Amino acid sequence: MQVINEMKLVIDALSVNEGYCRVAVATFVSQLDPTIEELNDVKTSVSEAVTNCIVHAYPKKRGKIYITARLYADGLSRVTIKDRGIGIEDVKKAREPLFTTAGGERSGLGFSVMESFSDKLTVRSKPGWGTSVTIEKRIAGKGK
Amino acid sequence: MPVRISTEANTMTAFLSGEIDHHSAAAIRDAIDTQIQINRPKLLKLDFSEVTFMDSSGVGLIMGRYKNALTFGGRTEVANMPAFAEKVMRLSGLEKIIRFYKEK
Ligand SMILES: Nc1ncnc2c1ncn2[C@@H]1O[C@H](COP(=O)(O)OP(=O)(O)OP(=O)(O)O)[C@@H](O)[C@H]1O
Ligand SMILES: [Mg+2]
């Protein structure tokens, strides 16, 4: 399928950037004329992935978040959120609902939210290499 | 400030507003916990009517306040959760332990 538009964003993994990242991606995806609900789905899943980079990926050093968003001619949006942080030992386990390695007030729902708010979620990760999360969401749009 | 707090008799109400994510949740959490400590309410009401965005950080925020209020013997209720946030709430299962309701 043909890519009709692409954007890339590299930004510091700081919590103050969470709002900027989800709004930037949502604004870009808006070109596909999504419904309010579809747009909120994209915003929420991007927010989860970006927050994971900030909370989990870089416990010791300052790092960056690499975002690529692609829009396809058939109405598909594909957003990849990547870090070069510590990575995930067991991705299958990490994706289970309520699984969390963080204490405090993390609920372990991030991946469940991404999964249920998108059409397809792909997680690639390797300890020491980082984590790459791809969120695919088909935008039916207001017209349909 | 994304939260306004009012206390009446034994009820403390926190009116949350704007976007709730991991970044904004920290200040909201601190503000509510400070007032829980001072007021030790019998009932903590979290009002979400002015919230415009929420991810799973909102679940942690509710759960944390529920636990904190409980250490002072108070219970927690959640009022006016906007429709867009209901999907996240359903995933969380919070409705099994906390009462959710709409006022308007
Ligand atoms: N980018 C990442 N780098 C390293 N570890 C990660 C990353 N993303 C997720 N993880 C791991 O996967 C676990 C599950 O992530 P998930 O987002 O589902 O829950 P959480 O972040 O712990 O809690 P919540 O998202 O509800 O606040 C995390 O606790 C963490 O161990
Ligand atoms: Mg998370």
What's the pLDDT at A84?
A: 98
pLDDT at B1 over 90: no
For residue A50, give Cα distances in angstroms to A7, A75, A129, B68, B75.
Answer: 16, 23, 17, 28, 33
pLDDT at A103 over 90: no
pLDDT at A139 over 90: yes
Q: What is the mean pLDDT of chain B?
A: 96
Best probe residue, ligand 1, of A22, A46, A48, A56 (max atoms within 8 Å of C-beta): A56
Its sign, for the CA torsion A18, A22, A25, A28, is negative
Domains of chain B and any CATH numbers = 3-101 (3.30.750.24)
Q: Measured between alpha carbons, how far is A137 from A120 in angstroms, rounded to an integer?
A: 7
A109:B56 CB<8 A: yes
Domains of chain A and any CATH numbers = 3-138 (3.30.565.10)
Q: What is the mean pLDDT of chain A?
A: 96
Q: In the beta sheet, which residues pair with residue B13?
A: B6, B45
Query: Are the C-beta atoms of A111 and A94 separated by less than 8 Å?
Result: yes
Q: Does A111 touch chain B (CB under 8 A)?
A: no
What's the pLDDT at A143?
A: 67
Quick one: what percent of chain A has pLDDT higher than 90?
92
pLDDT at A1 over 90: no
Q: Which of B29, B64, B91 sits opposite A112 (nearest CB)?
A: B91
Instruction: For residue range B59-83, list pLDDT tens digits in order.
Output: 999 999 999 999 999 999 999 999 9
Q: Measured between alpha carbons, how far is A128 from B44 in angstroms, rounded to an integer?
A: 43
Instruction: For residue range A30-87, list pLDDT tens digits in order.
Output: 999 999 999 999 999 999 999 999 999 999 999 999 999 999 999 999 999 999 999 9
For the entire predicted model, the pTM comes to: 0.96
B57:A51 CB<8 A: yes
What's the pLDDT at A114?
A: 98
Overall average pLDDT of the B23-47 stretch: 97
User: Angle at CA A35, nearest 5°, toward A15 and A78?
Assistant: 55
Q: Please list every residue in chain A whose beta carbon sits closer than 8 Å to the beta carbon of residue B25.
A: 105
pLDDT at A144 over 90: no
